[in-house]
Amino acid sequence: MTLPAAFYDRPVLEVAPDLVGCTLAHGDTAGVIVETEAYHQCEAACHAHVGVTARTHVLFRAPGTVYVYRSYGIHALVNLVCEAEGIGAAVLIRALEPLAGIRLMHERRGVAEEEQLCSGPGKLTQALGIELDLNGTDAIAGPLRVGPRPPEWEEVGIVIGTRIGITKAAELPWRFCAAGSRSVSRPWPPGFTPAPRRRVAVPREG
DNA sequence: CATGGGATTGACT
DNA sequence: GTCAATCCCATGC
């Protein structure tokens, strides 16, 4: 099951929180989206703010298009293009809770903690094997697939904060986190408290 | 054509 | 807390 193009053909500030709890899959790996940020051509932090260029033209394409770019020369960051064709807007996927292909994610990431496999925008693309060759592909029928919220995520709470790692338009509260998820990236937004770490019963003396 | 700045992460003091 | 790695591309000469 894949979300239709119409899901993305709405204001990016509606799509970004609605994507929290949905699933993202690539190859044999998948996760539940637990953190997103909205970007729109009207504000300076959005790559589309400079208009249509070789880098940004994908942001102006049809809703549901995948935008992947390289950050700091090292990491690939993945976005889903929103709003009508001709408007530059997208949702940055910032964190996932791993669902499938977890063994492969561990191999790609080289970390032991499952919470750290996809707890950042560069981490999740590494875990899912998302690279720049996916830029311009289609999130409805392409290799990257976005599915609706599983039943247990239907009533996920959203904690809102300001966007991370930007200098321009940094005051806008356009970051959306799944309440309680331990896979949300740092720093946590105000009012966010992670659910208690799952405990393993340990026999004690006494 | 040269330059500079990132929507980050991990290692280190 | 600091800092370097390293690629793409927007910008300016």
pTM of the model: 0.95
Is A69 within 8 Å of A56 (Cβ atoms)? no
What is residue A59's predicted lDDT score, i.e. its pLDDT? 98
- Protein-proximal nucleotides of chain B (any atom < 7 Å from a CB): 6-10
Nucleotide nearest to A37 (CA to C1'): B7
Measure the CA–CA gap between A127 and A146, rounded to whole angstroms: 16
Q: Is the dihedral of CA A21, A185, A37, A194 positive or negative?
A: positive
Q: pLDDT digits over A113-136, tens only?
A: 999 999 999 999 999 999 999 999
The protein residues having a beta carbon less than 7 Å from any atom of strand B are A 37, 39, 45-48, 59, 67, 70-75, 77, 79, 90, 92, 109, 111, 116, 120-123, 163-168, 185
Q: pLDDT digits over A172-194, tens only?
A: 999 999 999 999 999 999 999 99
pLDDT band at A206 (very low <50, low <70, confident <90, very high): very low
Is A28 within 8 Å of A100 (Cβ atoms)? yes
Asked if the model's pLDDT at residue A200 lies above 70, the reply is no
Q: pLDDT digits over A161-177, tens only?
A: 999 999 999 999 999 99
